[in-house]
Structure 1
Amino acid sequence: MTRLLVAAVAASLLAPSAARAIDCRRAASPLERMICADAALRKADAALGSAYAGLLHGTDDAEIRAMLIASQKRWVAARDTWLGDLDAADARTIVLGAIRARTEDLSGRATSDPARPHWIAAALRQRAFAARFTGGPFAGFDTACYFLPVGQDRVYGCFGSRRFQNGDRVCTLSDDWASGHTTETRTVGRVVDGAVRTVATCTIGGGDDAECPGPENPAGRWTRPAAPAAATASATTAPAGPRALLDVELASDAEAETWLSTCLTDPAYPPPDPVPAAGTEPGSRPPARAGDPNGK
C-alpha cells in the first residue's frame, strides 16, 4: 500500500502543469480569477484536470502522450485568448460550457473498446493509417485551434493541414474557417530537388470554379500550374523542424482516407478533367440549332 501511495504521488508531481486545475492562489488573469471566484467554475475546472490526468495515465506511449500534452496546452492557450475578454453577462455561461465540453472530449471512450480512451484509440488508428506509406520530411500536421462564435456561444474547433508522404508524392488536406463556414483544400504534390511542387489543387466548400470533382460533383475541376515556372514558384521546402505526426484533433474520416490513399498510391493521380460537351463550358452559349447561326 505504501509503495502504491508513493507511486501515485510521484505520478501527480510529474504530470504536466496543464493537467492540473488552476491554482487559485496564483490566479493572474481575469479569466482565472473569474473561475476561482465561482464555485461551479472551480468544480468544472477540477473535473477537467482530473479527466486530462486520467487520459495521460491511459497510455505509456511517448508519442501519444506528447500529442495529448500539446493538445491540452493548445486548448488552454485558446481559452485564455478567445474567452478572456467576453462580456461579463455572457462570460460565466460560455466558459462553463467550454470547460464541460472539453472534459467530455477528454473522457470519451472508444466505441470498439470501451476500456480504452477514445483519443488514444484514434491516435493508434491515425498511426496505423500513416504506416501504410513511406512517410518523409514533408509529412505531418500543422494545427491551429480557436473558439468560434456560434450564435451566442463559443465552440472550440481546430483547423490546419494534414500532410502525408509516400515516396516522392505528397498529398495534403487543409481545412480553413472563414465567414462562418469551412473550406477544405486538397493538394497533390511531388518532391523535386528537395521541395514539393504542386501538381494540382481543388477545394470543397469554397464555392469557386476549382471545386473538387467527385460522384456528387462530376463537373468539378482541378487547378493545375500552367507552366513549370508556376510549379517552381509554388514549391514548398521541408520544415526547419519535425512536424507532429499525430493529432487527433485533425482526424480524417473514411472518405478523406480513401482520397489520401488514392492520391498517395496512384502515380497517375489526379486523372485528366473530363472534357465538357460543346456549349457547356462556364460562360458559353448553347450550341446553335441547324440552320440558325444565332441559336434562336
Structure 2
Amino acid sequence: MEPETEKTSVQDDLLYTITNIQRFATHDGPGIRTVVFFKGCPLHCPWCANPETWRAEPELFHDDSLCMGCGRCVTACPKGAVAVIGGKARVNRTLCDGCGSCVTACLNKAMEVTGNRMTIPEILAEIRKDDEYYQASGGGITLSGGEVFAQDPVPLLRALKDAGYHTAIETEGAYDLEKLAAALPWIDLVYHDVKHCDPHKLKKFTGADAEEITRHLRYLKDSDVRTIIRIPVIPGFNLEDLDNIRGYVKDLGFSEMQLLPFHPMGKGKWHKLDRRYPYEQTPMMDKTQLDAWREAGTEIGGH
C-alpha cells in the first residue's frame, strides 16, 4: 500500500497553472459544465480570445482605464518593472514576473495577475460546488486553454474520472501524439480545432504543423472517443476556404463539425497585456453569413 500512498501524495502536490475556472458553461460539452482553462500554448493565433493563456507563467493584466497614475505600484514592485509615464502606469514585460505585489498596492484594482497555481484538490473543491447541476443536466468538466497538453492533464483527468465526472477536452493538436495517447483513457469527449487544411497558411498564421495535427486526428478517428471538429471561421484567414476544410475533415472520417464564427470579445485582454490586437477593426461575424452551412447540417456554435 505504500507506493499507492506515495503516488496520491505526489498527485496532491502537483501544481497546475490555471487562468480561470468558468462555472455554468453550456457550449463546451453536454449539460451544464465547469471549464478549467489551462495556461500555456505553443500557438499564437492572431484572433485568439484568450491571449493570457499563451505564456506558461502567471502574468500581469493592467487596465489602463482604471489606472490613476498614483505610483503605488511603482513603489511596490520588487523588480522595478513598473513606471508612471504620461500619467499612467506602464509595465516592462521583460522584468515583470507576475508576483502580484502591485496588485495588492493598487487602490483602484487596475492590476490583476492572470494565472493561479492550483493543486488537484483545490481544483476539485471548485468543481464540486456545482455537482447537483452536473447530475441534473448530464454535464461535467471540460479542460481548455491555451492548450491543455502544454501541461500534463493526465493526473487531473484521472482524478476527475475517479470522482465520477464526464470529461471533455478542447485541443488544437500542437503537441506530441504520446501525450494524447496517455490521456485518452480518461477522456469522454474531444473537441479538436481544425483551423485550416493548407499547411503553409496554417504555419504562417498560427505556427501549427499540419502534418502533426493530421496524425492526431487520425489517431482520434481510430479510437473509441467521440470527437467533434471545431472550425474557427476567421475573415481573411479561412472564411473563403471552408469548403476545402470541410472536405479535409470528411476525408478523415469525421461527421460532427461545428463552425465558430469570429468574435472580437477578447481584444480587451490583448490591451491589458499591452499587445496590439490584429483584428481591432474586424467586426463580429453575423451568424447569418454561415446560413448555407447550417442548412447543410453543420452546427454553428460560439457567441
So what's the TM-score if we normalise by structure 1? 0.23
| TM-score normalised by the chain length of structure 2 | 0.23
Tell me: higher relative CO, structure 1 or 2? Use CA pairs within 8 A at least 6 residues apart: 2
